A = this chain, B = another copy of it.
Amino acid sequence: MRQLDTTSEGAATIETAPTRYVEGDGIRFAYRRLGPATGTPLVLLQHFSGNIDAWDPAVVNALAADRPVIAFDNAGVGRSTGRTPDNVAAMAKDAVAFIRLLGLPEVDLLGFSLGGCIAQQIATEHQRLVRKLILVGTAPKGGEEHLLAVLQEAFSQTDAPDPRLPLFFTKSAASRSSGLAFLKRAMVRKNDRDTDNGNAVTDPQAKALINWCATPDPGHVMLRAIRQPALVVSGSHDTMLPANNAYAMFKALSNAQLVLYPDSGHGALFQYPEIFVSHVRTFLESQPAAA
């Protein structure tokens, strides 16, 4: 069953917008839609283990000031039904199914970490669906990842208020302080909060990310197939998917901007929300370079 998304959510924020659902091909997707009713929607592709409420309100709400922004749970994640696949290609297929269910003919994609892998896959396969893409804290196929080691280290820090503090931020006082502020922002919503993910989600997601990086792509065939303008973003000290990935992606993509931030880890976009939003806006609003 297909439900078209026709309601404007002009004033909503990620903390206040109702969670909505759209169903098709046996999957019921949970999502929230913010921002104006018109304009190219920016669809957010979430990181390993994250749900809709793991996005930073400071980022999402600011981006929604001048464009529709859609956060959703991919198949199996959060309150979406279906099964979380164990590979990026299938996740990309699910995400495209969701976008089609909303009746969106053209979107921008912002993919963070695992979501950035999915964004790359979608961009190569759907040239007309994807206008521009933003790849944050992610890796190319065959890229460098330290997921399990970093997770093990983070979960051994039993005094951390949230594993995302050591996972997403550096050990500096400034980064930690930004991390605590992010966690506070992300916990504001109490009612209708998204469901945390268990092993049925994180196990296949971890496998998908690890296999993505373990699959060599000599000469970056996938990145070279991406024709859309791209913005590649990373933190200087991302321990999970190091910034070298971002530099390699920038060099292989035909039309990419690269932005790297200082003293920051995997969650650089949440450490510098105002700066990141400004960079995203500048990128999305600029005319693509003539071919």
Binding site for B on A (CB under 8 A): 173-174, 177, 229, 236, 247, 250-251, 253-263, 272, 274-275, 278-279, 282, 286, 289-291
Contacts and interface: CB of A to CB of B under 8 A. Distances in A.
Contact of A262 (B247, B256, B261): B256
Given A236-B250, A251-B236, A258-B258, A263 B282 contact: no
A9 to B, nearest CB: 27
A213 to B, nearest CB: 21
12 contacts: A173-B290, A174-B289, A174-B290, A229-B262, A247-B247, A254-B263, A257-B275, A259-B259, A272-B286, A275-B282, A275-B286, A278-B278
A149 to B, nearest CB: 22
Nearest to A291: B174
B262 A259 contact: no
A2 B270 CA distance: 48
A259 B258 CA distance: 5
Nearest to A253: B262
A257 B262 contact: yes
Contact of A257 (B247, B260, B290): B260
Nearest to A250: B260
B289 A262 contact: yes
Closest 6 CB pairs of A and B: A258-B260, A174-B290, A278-B282, A255-B262, A174-B289, A275-B286
A229 B254 CA distance: 30
Of the candidates A173, A250, A259, A282, the one having the most CB atoms from chain B within 10 angstroms of its own CB is: A282
A263 B291 CA distance: 10
B177 A290 contact: yes
Contacts of A263: 254-255, 289
